[in-house]
Amino acid sequence: MVVLDATIVNIALPHIQKALAFSTTDLTWVVSAYTLTFGGLLLLGGRAGDILGRRRVFMAGILLFTVASLLGGLAQEPWQLLAARALQGIGGAIASPTSLALVTTTFPEGPERNRAFGVFAAVSAGGGAVGLLAGGMLTEWLDWRWVLFVNVPIGLIIAFLTPRYIAESERHPGRFDVAGALTSTLGMASLVYGFIRASEQGWRDGLTIGSFVAAVALLVAFAQIERHAKEPITPLRMFADRNRSGTYVLMLSLAAAMFGMFFFIVIFVQDVLNYSPIKAGLAFLPVTVAIAVGAALSQRLLPVLGPKPFMAAGSAIAVVGLGWQTLLSPDSSYVGGVLGPMMVFGFGMGLNFVTVTLTAVSGVAPHEAGAASGLLNATQQVGGSLGLSILTTVFGTASRDAATEKLPDFMAHATPEQQAVFARTHQLPAPWSHEVLAHGISTAFLPAVAMAVLALLTALLVIRVRKSDLEALSGTAAAAGPVGG
């Protein structure tokens, strides 16, 4: 359900935009409000399960996620939906790490636990694909609100069955690093807001500058808190190992590109290619196949070649896919302009997923494997939000510049939505708006290419892990792998 929610809402974004009058730049908060709270509080959620009891915390997270989904579906104003999405992220951050830990404590070590992890991984992977189809069907056949309402019966069933089938775990003494969790989450939220604000109001805007100043202050405070905390939410010693630090940079860079890519391609296929929500959902399914093929290939050949070749090759292939997407135009077809580059990018990401997860836990003591992989998950979510905000800034500027060439000077600083209203009022042809939108999206992929290049350089110059370093880590990685999609 948590993984599904990252994709099911994406398909509905154009309909959410029209229903609640979001601007394209503000629409990114529907994604970022969820990923920021999810990624920022993920480690705190795992700690809460250890201290308070995993079953109890798991049920609290599920119920919060369920209530937030109901509130989101009932939203009448943009702020109401964004608040609900942030609450969903908090619920997911509480439920996700404890769900994986409950699998570990429920099944004895050996074949039975391995099978359980296999089912868990399959369901998690399937959640993304199911979300694409379910989002399309619910949006087209019912209403966009049902992409949120659908979580309510599922959550209630889980909450009802959990105490009947899952035993409570043993509590462990410990402390909550609430200050660290809040300063990191608020710091990243301020940073993301600064970029999105800059796309609409410019870099000299007082609130834009204030957001960046607040972000720096909060993130510096976070680093100081973690240095002196007895039980930090983010153990800074995790960054002492160059391979582990490299994997975090690599995952942050690729996730930043990936989140932005999916956001803008969803808008392109529905608003430029005029795909229905169901057709848009089907259009993205081949990407999940490409990711699965890449992951299976790397997993099979990893013992032979080691992780570095897959990280380098995967990142290089991602650069090619994203570079291809900078060629998008109003005349681009689905096969040549969307499917081809997405398949290339997806295969590259697939080559990276297994190897990055294994490298992140390489050389870590068993009791810290959860923290190492949890930090990788948090990096993925927060990096996605940050990357989406950067791409949005470029999109806003590029689309505004493109519109300026066709509209009078007084519209030079209008938002894309105001420009669209002007176009309709003055009976400008539809291809005009398609041209502006496509130009903004294709230009937005330029920083995505730069992010993938950063991942490639990291894989080539920073990562030095050897095959021997990864022996006997497959089970650890499975037990501590990504839970956020």
Average pLDDT over residues 398-405: 74
Q: How many CB atoms lie within 10 A of CB 224?
A: 13
| Contacts for 352 with CB less than 8 Å, ≥ 6 apart | 250, 251, 254, 294, 298, 310, 311, 314, 315, 318, 455
Confidence of residue 293 (pLDDT cuts 50, 70, 90): confident
- Examine the domain organization and report whether 7 and 20 are in the same domain: yes
pLDDT computed for residue 158 by the predictor: 92
CB 27 within 8 A of CB 81: no
Instruction: Find which of 55-64, 182-191, 416-425 is predicted with most confidence, using mean pLDDT.
Output: 55-64
- Examine the domain organization and report whether 56 and 198 are in the same domain: no
Residue that finishes a domain, picked among 129, 145, 173: 173
Confidence of residue 429 (pLDDT cuts 50, 70, 90): very low
Average pLDDT over residues 398-413: 64
Which residue did the predictor score with more confidence, 468 or 453? 453
Tell me which residue of 135, 131, 155 sits closest to 146, measured CA to CA. 135
Tell me which residue of 267, 431, 22, 16 sits closest to 423, measured CA to CA. 431
Share of the chain above pLDDT 70, in %: 83
pLDDT computed for residue 173 by the predictor: 66
- Examine the domain organization and report whether 146 and 281 are in the same domain: no
- Cα-Cα-Cα-Cα dihedral sign, residues 47, 49, 52, 57: positive
- Examine the domain organization and report whether 219 and 258 are in the same domain: no
Flag whether pLDDT at 80 surpasses 70. yes
pLDDT computed for residue 451 by the predictor: 94
pLDDT computed for residue 464 by the predictor: 82
Rounded Cα distance between 435 and 329, Å, is 7
Q: Which of 191-205, 244-258, 309-323 has the lowest mean pLDDT?
A: 191-205
**What are the b/e assignments for 398-425, b being 16+ CB within 10 Å?**
bbbebbbeebeeebeebbbeebbebbee
pLDDT computed for residue 56 by the predictor: 87
Tell me which residue of 232, 219, 238 sits closest to 177, measured CA to CA. 232
Flag whether pLDDT at 386 surpasses 50. yes
pLDDT computed for residue 87 by the predictor: 95
- Examine the domain organization and report whether 90 and 50 are in the same domain: yes
CB 131 within 8 A of CB 8: yes
pLDDT computed for residue 86 by the predictor: 93
- Examine the domain organization and report whether 75 and 185 are in the same domain: no
The domain tally of the chain equals 3
One-letter amino acid for residue 147 of the chain: V
Domain span including residue 66: 1-173
Average pLDDT over residues 177-202: 84
Kindly report, residue by residue over 23-54, the tens digit of the pLDDT: 877 888 898 888 888 888 877 887 787 778 88
One-letter amino acid for residue 348 of the chain: G
CB 55 within 8 A of CB 166: yes
Flag whether pLDDT at 477 surpasses 70. no
- Examine the domain organization and report whether 203 and 289 are in the same domain: no
- Examine the domain organization and report whether 203 and 246 are in the same domain: no
Q: Which of 44-48, 174-178, 261-265, 382-386 has the lowest mean pLDDT?
A: 174-178
pLDDT computed for residue 5 by the predictor: 77
pLDDT computed for residue 406 by the predictor: 60
Flag whether pLDDT at 413 surpasses 60. no
- Examine the domain organization and report whether 368 and 430 are in the same domain: yes
- Examine the domain organization and report whether 196 and 105 are in the same domain: no
The token pair that represents 440 in the structure block: 């903004």
pLDDT computed for residue 153 by the predictor: 94
- Examine the domain organization and report whether 138 and 277 are in the same domain: no
- Examine the domain organization and report whether 339 and 196 are in the same domain: no
Residue that finishes a domain, picked among 204, 228, 252: 228
Tell me which residue of 235, 244, 249 sits closest to 47, measured CA to CA. 235
Tell me which residue of 55, 41, 52, 44 sits closest to 103, measured CA to CA. 55
Rounded Cα distance between 464 and 143, Å, is 50
Flag whether pLDDT at 152 surpasses 60. yes
pLDDT computed for residue 205 by the predictor: 85
pLDDT computed for residue 425 by the predictor: 47
The CA distances from residue 137 to 14, 39, 127, 153, in Å, are 14, 28, 15, 17
Confidence of residue 368 (pLDDT cuts 50, 70, 90): low
Which residue did the predictor score with more confidence, 220 or 111? 220
The CA distances from residue 361 to 264, 310, 354, 465, in Å, are 33, 17, 11, 11
Give me the chain's average pLDDT, please.
Answer: 82
CATH number of the domain to which 128 belongs: 1.20.1250.20
pTM: 0.81
